[in-house]
Structure 1
Amino acid sequence: MTSIQQPIKATLVKRSLTKSKNRTQSLAQHFGYDSLINSNNDLSLAKRLFNSQQLQYQREQHNIEKIFKLTYDECKNETTTEPDPDWLVRFIEMAKQVHSPSMQKLWARTLKKELTRPGTTSLKTLTILITMTQRETLLFQRIISVCCQIGKNNDKK
C-alpha cells in the first residue's frame, strides 16, 4: 500500500466510525433508548420505559393506519364479505410491525385480497411474511413470477 493510500484508508475508517456512532445515537433516540448515550438520566428508569413504550405504540398505530389507508385506496368498491375475525386480529397484530412503505403496500394488497376473497391468505403465510425483510420479499416475488402451471395440473413448476 502506498503512503498516499494509507491516509485515505484511515480517513474512510474514521468517517465510518463517526457515522456508525451517529446512526446508533439516532436509532436509540428514535426508539427512546438514548438516555445513557446522551447522559440524560433526569428521568427514572420507569419513566423512560413508559416513554419508549409510548413511542412504540405510536409507531404501531401509524403503521396499521397507513396499511388500512393503502388498502382503502386500493379498493374499487368490489364486493366483499366479512373476514374471519381471528385472521383479522392476527393480521392487525402482525401488520403493526411493518414499517417500510413498500412492505406496507404488500400488506395492504394482502388485506384487500382477503376482503374480496376470504381464505386466500393463511395465518401461516402471514407468519412467514412478517419474518421476511423487504429484500427477501422482493426476491421471493421474483421467484414466484417464474413459476408456471402446466395443463390442468395445479402444481406450480
Structure 2
Amino acid sequence: MSEVSLRPMRAADAGAVLAIYQTGLDGGDASFERTAPGWAEFDAARLAAHRFVAVGETILGWVAVSAVSSRPVYAGVVEHSIYVDPAARGRGVGRALLGALIDSTERAGVWTIQSGVFPENTASLALHHAAGFRTVGVRERLGRHGDRWRDVVLLERRSPLI
C-alpha cells in the first residue's frame, strides 16, 4: 500500500466518499440501497469519531460506523460500512481501513463491530474474515433488492480487549 495514508474523514471529502459509495452501489452486491444519500444524511447517520478515508493522489476508500441502537446497553456495538474505489482494490486499502476502524473503536470501548454482507460479495467476506470477523449466520431472504430476494451474511468482530 505504497503512498497511501489514512486519516479521519472530513466534510470536504463528501464528494469523493459519496462517489465511491455510489460506485459500490452500482455494482449491485454492496447494499440494499440503490442511491447514495446526500452528505447531510450520510453525516448524521454515522459516528464522527470512527470515520476514516484512505488517501493516495485521491480518496481511495472509506470506512464508517453507525450505532446499532440508542439503548445504553448497546453503546459498545456498532455496524460498519466499508467501500473501496475499484481502481484501488487489491492494494490493501480495505485491510488498512478496517485496521484503523478496529483500533479507533477499541480505544473508545466498542466491543462489537458488525456488518451485513451479501454472500455474492466474496471479496468483502474474505477481507472481513482476514480482519478477524466471524460469520454469525446467514439471514435468508432478508430483503428485496430490485426484483429478487437477497440473503445477508451477518459478520461480527468481538474485541479481545474489552
Bin of the TM-score, shorter chain as denominator length: under 0.3
- Looking at secondary structure, tell me which structure has more helix per residue: 1
Q: Which fold has the larger relative contact order, with Cα–Cα distance below 8 Å and residues 6 or more apart in sequence?
A: 2
Give TM-score, length-normalised by structure 2. 0.25
| Structure with greater Cα Rg | 1
